[in-house]
């Protein structure tokens, strides 16, 4: 399995590193997948702070994947997607579609309130997940971890990373 460098960001006005169950779950999934945790941060629901952090990680060049939990709902404080939008090179619309389809089995029509999203930003994959641990579990187990597994067939994001990097240079 190819190791991937992953950054984790929790977006929340109320969570701390001690109380951040969703961020901790993401970190556990990173380890479970055999990947490397590059960094872990918690930021408030502040569009400019989220944007600046994502931009820094994307432009660093040593982060392959960014996993974000929180701030993906429909209230005015949910600004994670807005913070990411200017950084997107290519939308990965299938992620959000599949996430909501799978989520429908658990929470029914409430899944339409989720702006779970994935995108390629330069040569970095970014996944936005809702803030609940259930959403993190669903996204990681059913979609993200398989796509970060170099042995997953018929295709996966892990095998595309070198090609994406090369084409971006």
Asked whether residue 1 carries a pLDDT value surpassing 50, the answer given is no
Rounded CA-CA distance 149/145 in Å is 6
H-state helical runs in the chain: 21-32, 47-60, 80-84, 93-107, 133-139, 145-147, 157-168
pLDDT the model gives residue 169: 59
Rounded CA-CA distance 150/157 in Å is 8
Who contacts 163 (Cβ-Cβ below 8 Å, separation ≥6)? none
Report how many domains make up the chain: 1
Q: What Rg, from alpha-carbon coordinates, does the chain have?
A: 15
Per residue in 5-47, pLDDT (tens digit) is: 999 999 999 999 999 999 999 999 999 999 999 999 999 999 9
Domain limits for position 78 = 5-168
Q: What is the pTM of this model?
A: 0.96
**Local confidence band at 50 (pLDDT 50, 70, 90 cut-offs):** very high
Q: How far is C-alpha 59 from the chain's CA centre?
A: 16
Instruction: Report the CATH number that the domain containing residue 113 is assigned in CATH.
Output: 3.40.980.10
H-state helical runs in 108-143: 133-139
Per residue in 66-115, pLDDT (tens digit) is: 999 999 999 999 999 999 999 999 999 999 999 999 999 999 999 999 99
ω into 154 cis (within 30 of 0): yes
Tell me if residue 139 falls in helix, strand or coil. helix
Rounded CA-CA distance 25/79 in Å is 22
Whose CA is closest to 20, among 8, 36, 34?
8
pLDDT the model gives residue 45: 97
Per residue in 125-159, pLDDT (tens digit) is: 999 999 999 999 999 999 999 999 999 999 999 99
């Amino acid at each position: 399995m190819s190791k991937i460098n992953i950054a984790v960001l929790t977006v929340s006005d109320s969570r701390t590193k001690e109380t951040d169950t969703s961020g901790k779950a993401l970190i556990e999934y990173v380890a479970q997948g055999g990947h490397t945790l590059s960094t872990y941060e918690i930021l408030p629901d502040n569009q400019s702070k989220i944007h600046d952090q994502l931009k820094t990680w994307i432009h660093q060049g040593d982060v392959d994947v960014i996993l974000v939990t929180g701030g993906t709902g429909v209230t005015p404080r949910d600004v994670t997607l807005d913070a990411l939008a200017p950084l997107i090179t290519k939308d990965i619309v299938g992620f959000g579609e599949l996430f909501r389809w799978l989520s429908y089995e658990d929470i029914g029509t409430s899944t339409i309130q989720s702006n779970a999203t994935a995108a390629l930003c330069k040569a970095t994959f970014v996944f936005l997940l809702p803030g609940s641990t259930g959403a993190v579990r669903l996204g990681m187990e059913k979609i993200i971890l398989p796509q970060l597994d170099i042995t997953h067939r018929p295709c996966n994001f892990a095998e595309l990373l070198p090609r994406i990097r090369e084409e971006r240079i």
